[in-house]
């Protein structure tokens, strides 16, 4: 990146940060979500925003949907899309990585999603279960019986990487690189925080693309029964371009990594902070399925997603003009007392927990939701069965991201009951 570009990007980001910080100090709740300390625990801010209304405008020029009804309406409405309207240029630092159909509207979204869908079919989920259970057991076999270990480094991060790597057909020798790269690119969902950060994202993306290029060449020479072999064949048949193939592989890795890592991390943290819920799960590991849904509702791995209005419309009776940007606050929707009774209470037997919006909705409902649920269920069940005395040994460390609500470190011990 040229020096002048570096200076320009840093100047733009410093200015934007300063303006949003001043706006937050003056009581603008949407802008407060961009800054510490409000970002560390956004739920009180969400509550205040819901009290203001289902759609809250920020002085920074965007709006935020706060209630479950408003977020659900936007996600399902054809009046909104993920692509900015014509004439609106999104700077590179705000859209630092191409994540395929996640960032596209129909018809391209529909075409590409259809090509990826078979990887997440019910038949595939049945096939994946035994492999996920084996990987989970191997990881837990490797942790010390009584000495502490880091839940994120030793379990939550390697599990989904190993699963998505096997799904894609990535050699096991590349797993460590995929964890490192996935961590960097996952942090790019908030956009780049500086020119240096943008460079790190671009370098990680280039490295990932090189890994996939090597894998694609291998699969052209020796096709297998894996997702990359299928996508390579579809590319050779003209169903998608080489650039679309690379972007789709990138999306499958990042989406398969971030959601599940943070489902496990946030889930174990919630369970251990609500010890009676952990004891219920230990007593009946079959509750793991419901526990996954409550974790997704209570502390969603993905806290928000953006939409642009395509036309003059309204949301819950509130006018929204064409070209407006709206942040759909999934984390707020999942704690909406207008939909969930006593929403700040963590209860793994909650009957309507699965009505959360953590996998988005409408045309962009998460394609990998069945896999994330399956991995989360197997992981929580295995921990309850094999480490019933699991306890934190230090405070977990939270990543400084907004879109993805995540832990970077969580020291724990299997202990003794």
What letter would DSSP give residue 87? T
**Sign of the CA dihedral 57, 62, 68, 70?**
positive
| Residue pair 329/304 in contact by the 8 Å Cβ criterion | yes
Residue 42: both structure tokens together:
């956004």
Q: Residue 17 sits in a domain of what CATH number? A: 1.10.630.10
- Which DSSP string corresponds to 315-371? ETTEEE-TT-EEEEEHHHHTT-TTTSSSTTS--TT-TTGGG--TT--GGG--TTHHH
What is the reported pTM? 0.93
| Residue pair 114/102 in contact by the 8 Å Cβ criterion | no
Query: Which residue range is the domain that position 368 belongs to?
Result: 3-413
Q: Which of 186, 100, 82, 185 is nearest to 405 (CA)?
A: 186
Q: Is 400 helix (H, G, I), strand (E, B) or coil?
A: coil
Residue 321's DSSP bridge partners are none
Domain count, the chain: 1
Residue 407: both structure tokens together:
């832990």
Residue 151: both structure tokens together:
């839940």
pLDDT per residue as tens, the chain (417 positions): 567 778 888 888 888 889 999 999 999 999 999 998 899 999 999 999 999 999 999 999 999 999 999 999 999 999 999 999 887 877 776 777 888 889 999 999 999 999 998 888 888 888 899 999 999 999 999 987 667 899 999 999 999 988 988 888 888 888 888 878 877 887 778 888 888 888 888 899 999 899 889 989 999 999 988 888 999 999 999 999 989 999 998 888 877 788 899 999 999 999 999 999 999 999 999 999 999 999 999 999 999 999 999 999 999 999 999 999 999 999 999 999 999 999 999 999 999 999 999 999 999 999 999 999 999 999 999 999 999 999 999 999 999 888 999 999 999 998 754
Residue 397's DSSP bridge partners are 409
């Amino acid at each position: 990146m040229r020096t002048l570009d570096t200076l320009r990007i840093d100047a733009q980001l410093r200015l934007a940060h300063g303006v949003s910080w001043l706006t937050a100090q003056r009581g603008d709740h949407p802008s407060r979500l961009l800054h510490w300390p409000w970002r560390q625990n956004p739920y009180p801010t969400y509550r205040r925003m819901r009290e203001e209304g289902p759609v809250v405008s920020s002085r920074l020029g965007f709006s935020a949907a706060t209630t479950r009804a408003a977020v659900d309406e936007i996600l399902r409405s054809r009046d909104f899309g993920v692509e900015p309207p014509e004439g609106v240029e999104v700077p590179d630092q705000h859209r630092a990585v191409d994540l395929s159909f996640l960032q596209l509207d129909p018809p391209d979204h529909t075409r590409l999603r259809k090509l990826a869908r078979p990887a997440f079919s019910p038949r595939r989920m049945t096939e994946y279960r035994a492999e996920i259970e084996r990987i989970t057991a191997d990881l837990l076999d490797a942790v010390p019986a009584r000495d502490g270990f880091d839940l994120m480094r030793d379990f939550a991060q390697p599990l989904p990487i190993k699963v998505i790597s096997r799904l894609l057909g990535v050699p096991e020798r590349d797993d460590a690189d995929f964890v490192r790269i996935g961590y960097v690119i996952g942090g790019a969902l908030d956009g780049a925080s500086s020119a240096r950060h943008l460079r790190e994202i671009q370098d990680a993306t280039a490295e990932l693309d090189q890994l996939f290029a090597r894998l694609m060449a291998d699969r052209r020479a020796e096709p297998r029964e894996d997702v990359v072999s299928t996508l390579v064949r579809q590319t050779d048949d003209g169903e998608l371009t080489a650039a679309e193939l690379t972007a789709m592989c990138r999306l499958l890795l990042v989406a398969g990594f971030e959601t599940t890592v943070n489902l496990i991390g946030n889930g174990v943290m919630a369970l251990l902070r609500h010890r009676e819920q952990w004891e219920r799960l230990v007593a009946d590991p079959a509750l793991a399925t419901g526990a996954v849904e409550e974790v997704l509702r209570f502390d969603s791995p993905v806290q928000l997603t953006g939409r642009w209005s395509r036309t003059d419309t309204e949301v819950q009776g509130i006018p929204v003009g064409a070209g407006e940007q709206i942040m759909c606050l999934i984390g707020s929707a999942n704690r909406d007392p207008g939909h969930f009774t006593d929403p700040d209470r963590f209860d793994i037997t909650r009957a309507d927990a699965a009505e959360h919006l953590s996998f988005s909705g409408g045309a962009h409902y998460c394609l990998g939701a069945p896999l994330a649920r399956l991995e989360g269920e197997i992981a929580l069940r295995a921990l309850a069965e094999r480490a019933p005395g699991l306890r934190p040994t230090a405070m977990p460390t939270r990543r400084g991201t907004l879109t993805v609500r995540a832990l970077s470190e969580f020291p724990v011990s299997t202990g003794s009951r």
